[in-house]
Amino acid sequence: MFPEELPRRLIRMFAYVGETILDPFLGSGTTSLAARNLSRNSAGYEINSKFVPIIKKKLNVGAVSEAIRTKESRGMERLLFQAC
């Protein structure tokens, strides 16, 4: 895990409000958290399904309407989050 400040600075520099941030290595969801806090959407991929509960807890996501989880090929998870 790394501090939220790292992706926050990059997101503010390179993405406008309402745009979507892609994180191909979602991990614990720090980049998605920074995107949400900056009113950006985010989409991320994570091959380790053990991270999904950590991501949901970090982003305080539980409802299906807030997060769309789909199974991709080879067991990869795709999580899409919309800015609130």
CA distance 51 to 28: 6
What spatial distance separates the first Cα and last Cα of the chain, rounded to whole Å? 24
Residue 58: domain span? 5-81
Give this prediction's pTM: 0.75
**Per-residue pLDDT reduced to its tens digit, 12-66:** 999 999 999 999 998 999 999 999 999 999 988 888 888 888 888 888 876 433 4
Question: What DSSP element (H or E) covers 47?
Answer: none
- CATH number, domain of 61, equals 3.40.50.150
Q: How confident is the model at residue 7 (pLDDT cuts 50, 70, 90)?
A: very high
CA distance 18 to 14: 12
Q: Look at the chain and report how many structural domains it folds into.
A: 1
> Which residues are CB-neighbours of 37 under 8 A, at least 6 positions away?
4, 8
CA distance 19 to 28: 21
